[in-house]
Structure formats: C-alpha cells, structure tokens
Amino acid sequence: MRTLQYRTLCVVVALLLGASALFAQGMYRHGGPGGFGQMLGFYADALDLTSAQQDQIKAIWQKEKPSIQPLMQQMRQNRAAMNQLAESGTFDEAKATALATQNAQTMIQLQVAHARIKSEMMQVLTPEQKTKLQQIEAKHAARWQKGTATPTE
C-alpha cells in the first residue's frame, strides 16, 4: 500500500513538474497548444471544471509563476552545466557532485512549491471532482508502473 502511495505521489509530482516546466518556460498561452493551457483543458474536461474553477486555477498558477520560474531556470542551468562537464573530456567528480547537490536542492524547492500549488488547487475542487482526480491519478500510476503512461492519461 505504501509503495502505491509513493508511486502515486511520484506521478503527481511528475505531472506537476511537467506542467510547471511548460508553464515556467512561457508556454502558457491561455489555452493555446501545449503547456499549461492544454493540461488545464484536459483536467477541465475530465473533472468537469466550471469556468469559475478554471479561473481560480489559472490565478493560482499565475500567482506561483514568479516563484517557479527561477527554479526551472536553475534546473536548466544545472542540466547544461552537467552536460558540459560530461562532454568536456576531463571529468571532475567534485564539480559533478556539487552540481548534483545543487540540483537536488532545487528539486526539493520545486516539490514543495508543487505540493503547495496542488493543495491550493484541491481547495477549488468539489468532493466529487477530488474523487475523480484520485481515480485519474490511480489509473495513471498503474499505467506508469507498466511503462505505458502518456502525459494526459
């Protein structure tokens, strides 16, 4: 049971990371192709969100965007620095460890932000919508475990 809860948490974090990564990279275009708008569209349909709920969720993301953007930028910089280090021909384990440690700290901050965002978003949902979301997440976790998950299932 604990393993299932952990996997579900991982799936939720992965979905939120994906959404915030797209969002932080400027792909949120009020429902345009890709990014947060597409993800919101999927959940709006799947959970039958009202316009007011969609507006509230957009407002949550808008409020959190300034705190997530620098974290996502740091993740991109860390990834680029690690790639450069790996491709340099002279591997520096101490530098790689420092980059990995910095990346881990950034990931912790992102996970805390995502937990805060999800908590705020959950307050917008009705009990029925929360149940439906749990069902979607459980289905996704099962598919993820089998290696057949897609971003919007």
Q: Where are the chain's structural domains?
A: 2-146
pLDDT at 123: 95
Nearest-angstrom CA–CA distance, 153 and 139: 8
Residue whose token pair is 């915030």: 20
Please state, as a whole number, how many other Cβ atoms lie within 10 Å of the Cβ of residue 74: 17
Please state, as a whole number, how many other Cβ atoms lie within 10 Å of the Cβ of residue 124: 19
pLDDT band, residue 126 (cuts 50/70/90): very high
32-63 pLDDT per residue, tens: 445 677 778 888 888 999 999 999 999 998 99
pLDDT at 24: 40
**Total H helices, total E strands in the chain:** 5, 0
pLDDT at 148: 63
Greater pLDDT, 72 or 2: 72
* Nearest to 93, CA basis, from 29, 18, 101, 8: 101
55-85 pLDDT per residue, tens: 999 999 899 989 999 999 999 999 999 999 9
pLDDT at 150: 58
46 residue type, one letter: A
Q: Are 37 and 20 in contact (CB under 8 A)?
A: no
Mean model confidence pLDDT for the chain: 79
Nearest-angstrom CA–CA distance, 38 and 29: 9
